[in-house]
Amino acid sequence: MKIAVVIISDPHAGDEALARLFNAFALAYEADGAGDEVSIVFIGTGTRWPDQLAQLNHPANARYNQLRHLVKGASRSCSVRWGAAEANEKQCVTLLDQNKIPGTVGGASLRSLLADGWQTLIF
């Protein structure tokens, strides 16, 4: 299987957002362990997660480091809009800009994932 785990929850939104993140990571971990092809993509306010997750005291830091090889990247336009572009570049998270929406710097293309046969789940 090819599974795209798309994280849009905002790390500033409290327990529900953290629960979404943990569930996304649980799926990615299980699928990777089963030999599936897995990509993690951050979009929207979810582009703020990588900088948070890099903090050693973050409750999901260890799991993030375990799954970091699965991170495809973060939407460039969302990273810019939500103030996360510099932090994502610092964390070596690729800024995805395949979707050339006029008036933006380009964002992650969810359509390309679907077109390439990826089962796409949004958290």
**Mind listing the pLDDT tens digit for each residue in 30-39?**
999 999 999 9
Measured at the alpha carbon of residue 86, what is the angle toward residues 25 and 42, in degrees to the nearest 5? 25
CATH number attached to the domain at 2-122: 3.40.1260
pLDDT in tens, 60-117: 999 999 999 999 999 999 999 999 999 999 999 999 999 999 999 999 999 999 999 9
pLDDT for res 5: 98
Domain boundaries, the chain: 2-122
Amino acid at 13: A
> How far is residue 5's CA from residue 122's CA, in Å, rounded to a whole number?
6
pLDDT-derived band at 50 (thresholds 50, 70, 90) equals very high
The token pair that represents 99 in the structure block: 């979707």
**What per-residue confidence (pLDDT) applies to 61?**
97
